[in-house]
Structure 1
């Protein structure tokens, strides 16, 4: 299979986990736990507000340097550092 050859060529170790069972995937379980914890801190007791904070929490997780790689998930995905939020806001105001 092409996928197997690509993984072998790039030294990627693949693992298979059961669908809808994040306990079998340590990394997915940790990510879900982090997401829940951060949302809970922002939402306090009003859980209906949580969807409104999802983008901010996801952004913070994507732009935080990971100990395992030394890079942010954003940098690994796009090959460059993310722009700080205030730069994005400033550009919108200049237009």
Structure 2
């Protein structure tokens, strides 16, 4: 969790795709965090296998109980060592920097721009996977207003599909592409994490722990 102007921005991020869910909270409490996690993640995507939190006070017993109630394991990382959360912490910084630029001198508008910045994050290609979170999640790029206006290949004209067979064929091709995309993303993510581990091993080799 990070705060801006005494309001708080909550971020949950899928460790594989990088898909973020964000929220602006007036009060950063365990109750607010647990309710948000339940309504915005569990109710949309189901229970994750594991949830990693940064060990801040908002992730106390009530918030952890909500995670355990969902059937998920919980891992608590030290809040003083953000590198241990890799992509999540990098994503936090990118979101915050984007909000600052969007708001300019009027920082009070950050909550207004949060959904737009979140969408931008979802459609931005990640170095670790080679794809955007949206592509990995849905198997295609998001369709934006400009795609509809210019009739790009992203704006599939589903209304022209008249038979069940045509619909099944179109969806099957979409799913086939999604699985291939996920396979490539998993391979690239694995290599990225291996390279990151080698980097930190070299960096910490001469330090006492």
Q: TM-score over 0.5 for the alignment?
A: yes
Matched residues, number: 77
Deviation at 1:17, TM superposition (A): 5.6
Greater strand share, structure number: 2
Q: Structure 2, unaligned stretches of length 5 or more? A: 1-49, 57-78, 150-209
Name which one, 1 or 2, has greater alpha-carbon Rg: 2
Q: Structure 1, unaligned stretches of length 5 or more? A: 1-13, 91-95
1:51 to 103, 107, 111: 111
Q: CA-atom RMSD, angstroms?
A: 2.6
1:63 to 123, 133, 136: 123
2:137 to 74, 77, 81: 77
Q: Deviations over 1:30-65 (max 9, x none)?
A: 110000000000111211111111111111111111
Q: Which runs of 4+ in 1 moved over 6 A?
A: none
TM-score (norm 2): 0.32
Q: Partners in 2 of 1:74 and 1:68 — Cα distance? A: 14
Q: Partners in 2 of 1:85 and 1:79 — Cα distance? A: 19
Q: Partners in 2 of 1:19 and 1:64 — Cα distance? A: 28
TM-score (norm 1): 0.66
Q: Partners in 2 of 1:17 and 1:55 — Cα distance? A: 22
